[in-house]
Amino acid sequence: MERLLEIKNLKTSFFTHVGEVKAVGGVSFYLNKGEALGIVGESGSGKSVTMMSLMRLLADTGKIIDGEMIFEGKDLAKLSEKEMEKIRGNEMGMIFQDPMTSLNPVFTIGNQIMEPLLKHKGLSKKEAFNKSVELLSLVGIPSPKERMKQYPHEFSGGMRQRAMIAMALSCEPKLLIADEPTTALDVTIQAQILELMKDIKQKLNTSIILITHDLGVVADVCDRINVMYGGLVAETGSTRDIFYNPRHPYTWGLLNSIPNPESTVREKLKPIEGQPPDLLKPPVGCPFAARCNYTMKICELKRPPLFQITPGHSSACFLNHPNAPKIKAPVGRGSL
Ligand code: SF4
């Protein structure tokens, strides 16, 4: 498979009045063409900051300290703002949790979808109109021609998210980044939007990065998953690896906090107790040690490296060391 993106040892910090917050502490991962990758973790895990670093859309206090972000052979960390703007408009599309933050309430939906087509693709007004109608239809908006004339407030939440996806797809991006795209939607609409993303991947061969706090959301859409914790990758693997052979106690916790679709009894979901680490003073050892039920002495003294389980499946947990005590994973089908 051909690589689209490779992130190597990315470190991003925020410089606040109380000190340096090390939001991303050295993250590496890749994305192949036509593949969907889920980035999963609680708030504060570094997942959204990783993506904002990639888009080079960090707040003023944020800075990429180290690392490379190779996208189609170019290191995005080294590009000028002007070059980056071109990439954002043409090669990357982004969808946010709340479409109202990206849609302008005073312009019609049609105008907003047409704008990037006129600006970046150099289409005539008529061509941009026709392409926008086509895009609205592709994302499942009925009577797209009529809908072009409407304003965002005339659309329901789910329809607004569809319109956002149409906007993000207008320049045929190679990469679509979706940050919690379904969190604000009810369950039925959420399922429809996820189905739409799967469809886009299949029909347009667009690579997708789906960022979410909910492992359940990525199960059906993503080929691979990165679980992030405390600004680091805790576990990475195929969706199958993560669901059936999870090898990190944090992944176990996340799996325990989603309903099991195969279960016939109503289970009580268990949230992960405790708080994420303070990234003003990141722990020297494993960032999950304070919340982990299996903490050993070494966990507090040394940061666990990524242990390879199988090619493509790794976990940053000392329980995967050959000399670690053997433990039966409480979820999935594997044991350590
Ligand atoms: Fe728990 Fe230690 Fe594994 Fe960290 S390295 S997740 S503290 S067992």
From CA 190, how far away is CA 283, in angstroms rounded?
A: 36
* Pocket flag, ligand 1, residue 296 (CB < 6 Å): yes
- Fold designation for 3-91+175-184+212-320: Rossmann fold (3.40.50)
Ligand 1 within 6 A of 246 CB? no
Q: What angle do CA 95, 101, 107 make, to 5 degrees?
A: 100
Q: How far apart are CA 162 and CA 109, in angstroms?
A: 11
DSSP 319: G
> What is the rounded CA–CA span in Å between residue 286 and residue 105?
45
Ligand 1: centre distance to CA 5 (Å): 29
Listed by start position, the domains of the chain span 3-91+175-184+212-320
Kindly give the residue spans of alpha helices, DSSP state H, lying in the chain.
47-55, 81-90, 99-102, 109-119, 125-138, 144-147, 157-169, 187-204, 215-218, 239-244, 249-256, 297-301
The predicted pLDDT at position 315 comes to: 98
Distance from the alpha carbon of residue 234 to the mean position of ligand 1, in angstroms: 10
Dump pLDDT digits (tens) for 144-187. 999 999 999 999 988 998 999 999 888 889 999 999 888 877 88
CB within 8 A of 129, min separation 6: which ones?
110, 114, 148
**Whether the CB of 294 sits within 6 Å of ligand 1:** yes
First to last CA, the chain: 30
CA dihedral 256, 262, 266, 272 (to 10 degrees): 10
- DSSP secondary structure, 116-168, as one string: HHHHTS---HHHHHHHHHHHHHHTT-SSHHHHTTS-GGGS-HHHHHHHHHHHH
pLDDT recorded at residue 269: 60
The answer to whether 167 touches 102, Cβ cutoff 8 Å, is yes
Half-sphere exposure (CA, 13 Å, Cβ side) for 228? Answer: 29
Give the integer Cα–Cα distance in Å for 15 and 20. 5
Cα 175 to ligand 1 centroid, rounded to whole Å: 33
C-alpha atoms less than 13 angstroms from C-alpha of 169 in its C-beta half-sphere: 26
pLDDT in tens, the chain (336 residues): 899 999 999 999 999 999 999 999 999 999 999 999 999 999 889 999 999 999 999 999 999 999 999 999 999 999 999 999 989 878 999 888 777 777 899 999 999 999 989 988 889 999 999 999 999 998 999 999 999 999 999 999 889 989 999 998 888 899 999 998 888 778 888 888 899 899 889 988 999 999 999 898 899 899 999 999 999 999 999 999 999 999 999 999 999 887 665 555 555 567 788 889 999 999 999 999 999 999 999 999 999 999 999 999 999 999 999 999 888 888 765 555
For the Cβ of 272 lying below 6 angstroms from any atom of ligand 1, the answer is no
**Rounded Cα distance, 19 and 55, in Å:** 24
Kindly report, residue by residue over 111-141, the tens digit of the pLDDT.
Answer: 999 998 998 888 999 999 999 999 999 899 9
Rounded distance between C-alpha atoms, residue 102 and residue 108, angstroms? 13
**244 CA to middle of ligand 1, Å?**
19
Prediction pTM value: 0.91
Q: What is the pLDDT, as a whole number, of residue 320?
A: 96
Q: Are 12 and 64 in contact (CB under 8 A)?
A: yes
